[in-house]
Amino acid sequence: MSRVTRDQRRPWTFYVLAGVFILYVAALYGPMICIYILSFQDIRGGLVFPMKGTSLHWFVDLFTQARTGDVKGSFDRSIRLALAVTLITVVASFLAGLGFRRGFRGDGIVFYLMIGSLVAPGLVLGIGVGLACTFLGLEAAWYSSALGAQLSWTLPFGVLVMFAVMSRFDGRWEEAARDLGATPAQTIRLVVVPVLAPGLVAVGLFGFTLSYDEFARSLQTAGSLNTLPLEIWSMTLNVTSPSLYALGTVTTLISFLIIGLSLGSIVLIQRRRAAGGGH
């Protein structure tokens, strides 16, 4: 009996590790939470605690005052850019996943080149793309050079996720489809894509979030018009009001929204299957 109670008591290491974990969580979320709280101050608000009143003043300020920068425009650009990156990443990763599974001449080299662009420092890569544009006499812009620079980062990521997704794909499903008379196009449309759909959503989510908060690769490639992370960065240099915090709160909400939508769609796909939706 006494042995049982002794076994049930937690060892001292539990409390040490729990303490480390709490510190970690506090360091991770504490600063962010401070920013969210401080963004809800009223007009007297400053950049540090204590809170001075509560209002949505700085949110309004964010979208109305020109002196805080082009928040709306940069937000717009960032979303469009992220959507374009997402679309390209999903399509290219899917096709690359199919290609790598079949194997092709030189697939090893392509794979290592891909990993290379993943580990290359983003800032250096961005500067390189920027220089290349100057050298070729092309004008850098968020929808061209920045798009390319961001894809150099999201595509390898997407392909790696696709590998993980594909590893659970049974090639006999395709063979069965062929056996039942499906053309290659029908096999892709009716079997491969639906089976891989949750994985493709995950790839899309990766692409979107990586692009949406990409800074290093965009810095030298976005041209004259800023994306949102660049705008925020420039604001930290010249804006000294809680509207900066309000911006942090808004972008966080949007990130959560995107993640929620993605996870929601995965859950929906799975629930529809579990419920036997079919068509």
Positions touching another protein (CB under 8 A) are: 170, 172-173, 175-183, 186, 190-191, 194-195, 197, 273-274, 276, 278-279
Question: Chain centroid to CA 178: how far?
Answer: 36
Q: Which is nearer to another protein, 84 or 266 (CB)?
A: 266
Q: Which is nearer to another protein, 171 or 260 (CB)?
A: 171
Amino acid identity of residue 257, one-letter, is L
Taking the complex as a whole, how short is the minimal distance between the CB of residue 176 and another protein, in angstroms?
4
DSSP state of 192: I
Q: Count Cα atoms within 13 angstroms, Cβ side, for 117.
A: 22
Cβ neighbours, 10 Å, residue 173 = 13
Q: Is the dihedral of CA 73, 74, 75, 79 positive or negative?
A: positive
Taking the complex as a whole, how short is the minimal distance between the CB of residue 278 and another protein, in angstroms?
4
Q: Which is nearer to another protein, 106 or 181 (CB)?
A: 181
- Kindly compute the dihedral angle of the four CA atoms of residues 241, 247, 253, 258, in this order, to the nearest 10 degrees: -170
Closest CA to 85 of 234, 172, 252, 209: 209
Taking the complex as a whole, how short is the minimal distance between the CB of residue 108 and another protein, in angstroms?
19
Taking the complex as a whole, how short is the minimal distance between the CB of residue 200 and another protein, in angstroms?
13
Q: Which is nearer to another protein, 52 or 178 (CB)?
A: 178
Residue appearing with tokens 């300020």: 61
How far apart (Å, rounded) are the C-alpha atoms in residues 209 and 214? 8
Q: Which is nearer to another protein, 32 or 180 (CB)?
A: 180
Q: Which is nearer to another protein, 129 or 192 (CB)?
A: 192
Taking the complex as a whole, how short is the minimal distance between the CB of residue 256 and another protein, in angstroms?
29
Residue appearing with tokens 């996870």: 263
Q: Which residues contact 80 (CB under 8 A, 6 or more apart)?
A: 143
Taking the complex as a whole, how short is the minimal distance between the CB of residue 33 and another protein, in angstroms?
41
Taking the complex as a whole, how short is the minimal distance between the CB of residue 98 and another protein, in angstroms?
17
How far apart (Å, rounded) are the C-alpha atoms in residues 256 and 16? 32
Question: Between 243-274 and 193-212, two packed helices, what is the crossing angle to 10 degrees?
Answer: 180
Q: Which is nearer to another protein, 186 or 236 (CB)?
A: 186
